[in-house]
A and B are shown apart, each in its own frame.
Chain A
Amino acid sequence: MRALYGRLRALAVAFGLLLAMAAANAQSFDEALTGFTADSFSDTENAIGAVARSGNARAAQVIAALQDGRLFFDPDGKKVYIKDKDDRLTDAATGEAAGAAPADLRPVRLNNRLRRAVEAALGGLSLFAEDAGRRFDAAQAVFRSRDQAALPALESALAKETDPGVKTALAEARAAVVLNMSGASEADKLAAIPVIRARGDQDSVALLAGLPADTPAAVTKAANDAIASIQSSLAVWSALQNAWYGLSLGSVLLLAAIGLAITFGVMGVINMAHGEMVMLGAYTTFVVQEVIRAYNPGLFGYSVVIAVPLAFAVSGIVGVLVEQGIIRFLYGRPLETLLATWGLSLILQQAVRTAFGPTNRDVGSPSWMSGAFDVGQLTITYNRLWIICFSVAVFVGLLGLLRFTRFGLEMRAVTQNRPMAASMGIRTGRIDALAFGLGSGIAGIAGVALSQIDNVSPNLGQGYIIDSFMVVVFGGVGNLWGTLVGAFALGIANKFLEPYAGAVLGKIAILVLIILFIQKRPRGLFALRGRAVEA
């Protein structure tokens, strides 16, 4: 009986304490709120801290409102109000609707220092949020702010956390705070360093490099070791990132150059207007999007998909017309075809400039192509990922066309030995026209892809024509694989040289390398062989 009585008493005391704490909290919350009514930055700063520490359920709402600029105060009545999105006022302390707005309602002002305090406070409060994502963000915010006042909240959050990802983030945040706290013990700090090292990104390096001056020597040494190891792993990630950019550039070059390789292989002519076919494809995308925006905005997500066959058709038809109108008469004179197609490119550029204006046109990305995701320290954007997949798909499609269709067979025959193909009954004139149309059509599709990552202007083609030439020269025209290898090799080489030499010198270096490469293989990597090939 006495034991029960003793427990009941303990319960009553605890309950009483809780009530007292609640009352005190409520009291301290109210007191904290009045700090906002003084219209002074230092008072507001104290109030923010007090509100956050008060543990009141409404604390998070108040501070969130303050961050959004929705916290107002009445200097006469000493009351604080929250204004929601519909401009309705609620009393900050009680949460009830405030009725009529007081005459002299002023917003609670913030400066940059206060904003940081607000972020830290919100971070601390969000540590206990319902949503795991919000808890994770809160942990990251504390990691960046290293606010010592958040330490007790961190500890209690760590104890209660179940989600492993959030738990790691909380541990890192705690380690960050400990490392920057003068009061923490050396053992604690030494224990914190491996946690930061495991995180392993640029922020960690900054944190470890910026430890306070009173850090013990052992801790500083451990920190420096950790920095070295993080940087070497970051170097690996950086190389991977460059490889990714190189792949992306290579896929763009592949799309742009493969049409050129086909026409050069089949007909032996370099089409200097190839860049303009790419540009026409990009402008087709623009027009399709404009039409969709005007008549059926709901289809915007499909605009790129619709633009692909249209761009193929537009550029392909222009290509066939060019072949029939100009190239056909210059048969056997490749250098003059070069000049004539250059003239054509000037005409096409000026025509587009006259029709659409010389400035960049806006081509938007559908939602499924926007955004990015992270793999380790690598950032992968969706639009480039889609373009890589698209290029590979186009390449595979072309391989199939060449390998499995009658048209592909005839094209290959004409490429390898034109007179013999003609003797076998293949209409070389027709193949020429269709091959040129196909090459230009692919260029048009490349334009659709390029419109997503580059500016759409009449000069779009000029930016890619030299690179396309380099791919064709390097990869050779015997084989589509040559273009693939050439495009990706040039793309990756370009991107790897860039961090060391800069974009311009990188390009120059690539050019010099190609000239030297041509010493060994003058016809490119995958060259056509045989007596039919003119030396």
Chain B
Amino acid sequence: MTGSPLIRALDRVGVTFLVLLAIIAVAVPLGNLLVPPSSPLHVSLYFVSLFGKYVCYAILALAIDLIWGYCGILSLGHGAFFALGGYAMGMYLMRQIGTRGVYANPILPDFMVFLNWKELPFYWHGFQYFGYAALMVVLVPGLLAFVFGWFAFRSRVTGVYLSIITQALTFALMLGFFRNNFGFGGNNGLTDFKDILGFNVQSAETRSALFAISVAMLGLGFYICRAIVSSKLGKVLIAIRDAENRVRFLGYRVESYKLFVFTLSACMAGIAGALYVPQVGIINPSEFAPGNSIEAVIWVAVGGRGTLIGAVLGAILVNYAKTTFTSGPLAPYWLFVLGGLFIAVTLLLPRGIVGTVEHWWKGIGPKTRGNGVAPAGVADPHPAE
């Protein structure tokens, strides 16, 4: 293989995907802002926000696929990093409300006035600046992941034990954030946002801009993940996934590799959360719920783990199904469908949709395409676990 991973990441599949994303990033906002409502090509504001939400979920799915599909770390608590990034953005947005809140206090958000707090807690200082908030979006989940991962990987907690511990982590965070005196809005969360960077959060232009930024972030995240897994680092990660002990005996510091990719994945999840919050308009502690994190894992499983595109596809498909079911008369059956999806995917479709397609393609490939070398960056998603 030639060239740096940054070039190798831009293989045929990668470039196609990025171009597709670029088209969507431009077409959807145009469809909303320029095309008149009467035309069939018009994209309503509702759909712009909805797809924006899906895109944020896709970024989260990418983050999970990076550590699960390529490194074998099944984190059932990634929703915690997503929610932490969301809260950081939410805190910035709350500070921006200023005197337009219900209690019209220039410094304190409404819920603090309601709780009779006299001054801003120390951890809220600095969130009136976007730069600081953006830094926190990446730093807080990253730091938590770093500390947690350092303890966990160093003591060689793997497999099921690790998954359970990550579940407990997000559960504990959920319990904490639900408390009203934690200073993060309690069970109501943070909401009623007015504007972001001076632009009205509700307006069509802002929503389109947020959508475009989300798609851009998705593309960037995809590119970075692709670059990582096409590099030597990626090879080591796949080796860790398949046979961790052997990699350790070969001399690689397995803990360091895992820690790096886990922290990076947490930062990505935090960014996803931060983009999610202004588009949805609220962040509350139920985002920390263990069930949310496990659902995120199933997006990756449905789409195909170990193929980054599969993660994106799975996130969008499953969430689209969820929206369809839960906003219609079929709402009570959604949990049956979701549960059935879990069981069906693990039993019948272990490679996921994209993984199965690739498997067929590779099966056909060597006979028609010659050397049968797998495209760069795509790992065989048939783990030894």
Binding site for B on A (CB under 8 A): 264, 268-270, 326, 329-330, 332-340, 342-347, 349-351, 354, 466, 469-470, 472-473, 504-505, 507-508, 511, 514-516, 518-520, 522-523, 534-535
Contact = CB atoms under 8 A, between A and B. Distances in A.
Nearest to B332: A354
Closest 10 interchain pairs by CB?
Answer: A343-B342, A346-B339, A347-B339, A350-B335, A343-B339, A340-B346, A336-B346, A519-B155, A469-B164, A508-B172
A345 B339 contact: yes
Band of interface residues on B: 35 or more
Contacts of A344: 339, 342-343
Given A515-B152, A535-B156, A466 B339 contact: no
Contacts of A350: 332, 335-336, 339
Contacts of B245: 535
Nearest to B350: A336
Contacts of B311: none
Contacts of A339: 294, 297-298, 301, 342, 345-346
B294 to A, nearest CB: 5
Nearest to A349: B335
Given A504-B175, A504-B179, A346 B338 contact: yes
B155 A522 contact: yes
Contacts of B350: 333, 336
B343 A515 contact: no
Contacts of B342: 339-340, 342-344, 346
A333 B68 CA distance: 14
B343 A522 contact: no
Interface of B: 74, 76, 148, 151-152, 154-157, 159-161, 163-165, 167-169, 171-172, 175-176, 178-179, 244-245, 290, 294, 297-298, 301, 332, 335-336, 338-343, 345-347, 350, 385
A66 to B, nearest CB: 46
Given A470-B164, A535-B245, 13 more contacts: A326-B343, A333-B385, A339-B342, A342-B294, A346-B342, A466-B171, A473-B165, A504-B176, A507-B172, A511-B169, A518-B152, A518-B165, A534-B159
Looking at chain B's contact residues, is the secondary structure mostly helix, strand, loop, or mixed?
helix
Given A343-B340, A344-B339, A466 B347 contact: no
Among B175, B244, B338, chain A packs the most CB atoms within 10 A around the CB of: B175
A353 B343 CA distance: 20
A332 B385 CA distance: 7
Contact of A270 (B164, B297, B301): B164
A535 B161 CA distance: 12
A507 B175 contact: yes
B159 A522 contact: no
Contacts of A523: 161
B168 A511 contact: yes
B349 to A, nearest CB: 11
Nearest to B182: A504
Contacts of B156: 522, 535
A503 to B, nearest CB: 8
A523 B161 CA distance: 8
28 contacts: A270-B163, A326-B347, A334-B159, A334-B160, A335-B160, A336-B346, A338-B76, A339-B297, A339-B301, A340-B346, A340-B347, A343-B339, A343-B340, A346-B338, A349-B335, A354-B332, A466-B167, A466-B168, A466-B171, A473-B165, A508-B175, A508-B176, A511-B168, A511-B169, A515-B151, A518-B152, A519-B155, A522-B161
A343 B168 contact: no
Given A343-B343, A347-B335, A347-B340, A519 B154 contact: yes
Contacts of B152: 515, 518
B45 to A, nearest CB: 32
Contacts of B168: 466, 469-470, 511, 514
A270 B294 CA distance: 14
Nearest to A468: B164
A330 B347 contact: yes
A347 B332 CA distance: 11
Contacts of A473: 161, 164-165
A138 to B, nearest CB: 46
A346 B160 CA distance: 20
A268 B336 CA distance: 26
A4 B298 CA distance: 109
Given A339-B342, A522-B155, A329 B347 contact: yes
B151 A519 contact: yes
A533 to B, nearest CB: 12
A334 B218 CA distance: 31
A466 B290 contact: yes
Interface hub of B161, B163, B167, B339 (most chain A Cβ within 10 A): B339
Contacts of A516: 151
From A268, A343, A472, name the one whose CB has the most chain B CB atoms within 10 angstroms: A343
A270 B160 contact: yes
Contacts of B335: 346-347, 349-350
* Interface-centre pick from A335, A345, A507 (highest chain B CB count, 10 A): A335
A312 B317 CA distance: 40
Contacts of A351: 336
Nearest to B74: A335
B169 to A, nearest CB: 7
Nearest to B152: A515
Contacts of A354: 332
A466 B174 CA distance: 13
B160 A511 contact: no
A335 B343 CA distance: 12
Given A333-B385, A335-B160, A339-B301, A515 B339 contact: no
Contacts of B163: 270, 335, 338
A335 B385 CA distance: 8
A269 B152 CA distance: 20
Most buried by A among B332, B335, B341: B335
Contacts of B347: 326, 329-330, 340
Nearest to B181: A502
Interface-centre pick from A326, A338, A516 (highest chain B CB count, 10 A) = A338
Task: Please indicate which of the listed interface residues A264, A346, A516 has the most CB atoms of chain B within 10 Å of its own CB.
Answer: A346
Contacts of A336: 301, 346, 350
Contacts of B298: 339, 343
Nearest to A354: B332
A334 B341 contact: no
A270 B176 CA distance: 26
Contacts of A346: 335-336, 338-339, 342
B355 to A, nearest CB: 13
B65 to A, nearest CB: 14
Contacts of A514: 165, 168
A343 B343 CA distance: 6
A76 B146 CA distance: 88
Nearest to B294: A342
